[in-house]
Structure 1
């Protein structure tokens, strides 16, 4: 299996310079960038069980001009797994330019999108405009949260989609068919998310906190992502 991580980040434009004319870039955030790590839990409770997996996340790539970021996620205490389960994920930054609040894939309907984004209190002021046009007309450049569906810029919301298993086979008994609605706070570096998969228990909550501001703290085992 892979043995080494390859990291990359798109070059940032000069201060005051826009990578795409006509679109203002948001201000800097030192809590989200390539190499940044986060630790916390994912609640996978259902009517039959009450369980939380320990989770580590590392940001590995970031391209703000295209609303893109990626990284690895490590689940540490997955039942029946002999080792931590590592997945590679790619993220879509909700910037009203590259990506809107409506997912348009992965079996998510606009109603699913609104229900999940509405789990975040910071989404409330945006709700009426999102229902009107998916949020296309919103200016998110100065919003203090990042919603995900990062070298030192920030945006409000994101989506994270696990693409493949890094260190286990696809028949490991786990699924990565769904994706995460994610909200990153540039105020304290916390990440909250909810997993969506119509075939899994709903609203599985992801809660992470920054662990290495200034690039110190725990580190992952190394993997080569191919």
Structure 2
């Protein structure tokens, strides 16, 4: 098959899908975790794109939950590779962060060699992504938080779990994001797509 195949559709990557969990923002001085809710607002697998909102609750510096809008890149070797090439991320930064995911171990040598372009990610049980917060939705930039960095994300196709690490050279390193898909916003049953002749 010439070129890279696109990942197959995933029932957890649909507009309206919600995820809930925590982001550990602990530093040397304090142990802190925020409750986080994410909702997908858009998804175009063919273009390697998705976007959504992220709501952080119990943020000490904010009186209300903080909501941001983010855009994501799906590492598919067609639209995006494992190398970020922006947001102050070097190739070493990329490999060090991807390496935090156990599911990356089988890909590491290929990524170090050619950016992972030789790897067939279409049928890999995990999808790798970057999520970049673009703006605050409900608070001003003076809320005490920064969105200068971005998340390295590993998404499980089988159960909808999301694991991520926030990267910003000016923030606590390796802030861990752990989310699970929920049934919120979904009703009824979902079926695979069939075309009748």
TM-score w.r.t. structure 2 length?
0.91
Q: CA deviation at 1:173?
A: 1.1
The CA RMSD over aligned residues, in Å, is: 1.4
Ranges of 4+ aligned residues in structure 1 off by more than 4 Å: none
Partner of 2:150: 179
Q: CA deviation at 1:24?
A: 2.6
Is 2:45 aligned against 1:45?
A: no
Q: Give SS of 2:73's match.
A: strand
Partner of 1:205: 176
Q: Judging changes above 3 Å, is the alpha-carbon distance between structure 1 residues 105 and 172 closer, same or farther for their aligned structure 2 residues?
A: same
Partner of 1:122: 103
Partner of 2:69: 88
Partner of 1:17: none
Q: Give SS of 1:125's match.
A: coil
Partner of 1:153: none
Question: Any idea what the Cα deviations from partners look like across 1:34-63, whole Å, max 9, x if unmatched?
Answer: 110000000000100000000000001011
TM-score w.r.t. structure 1 length?
0.79
Whose relative contact order is higher, 1 or 2, with alpha carbons under 8 Å and at least 6 apart? 1
Unpaired runs of 5+ residues, structure 1, are: 1-20, 147-156, 217-226
Unpaired runs of 5+ residues, structure 2, are: 188-197
Partner Cα separation in structure 2 for residue 210 and residue 166 of structure 1 = 22
CA contact (8 A) 1:31 1:213 kept: no
Question: Any idea what the Cα deviations from partners look like across 1:57-92, whole Å, max 9, x if unmatched?
Answer: 000101112110000000011012111000000000
Question: Any idea what the Cα deviations from partners look like across 1:144-168, whole Å, max 9, x if unmatched?
Answer: 111xxxxxxxxxx000000000000
Say which of 61, 64, 71 aligns to 2:42: 61
Number of corresponding residues: 186
Partner Cα separation in structure 1 for residue 136 and residue 184 of structure 2 = 27
Partner of 2:117: 136
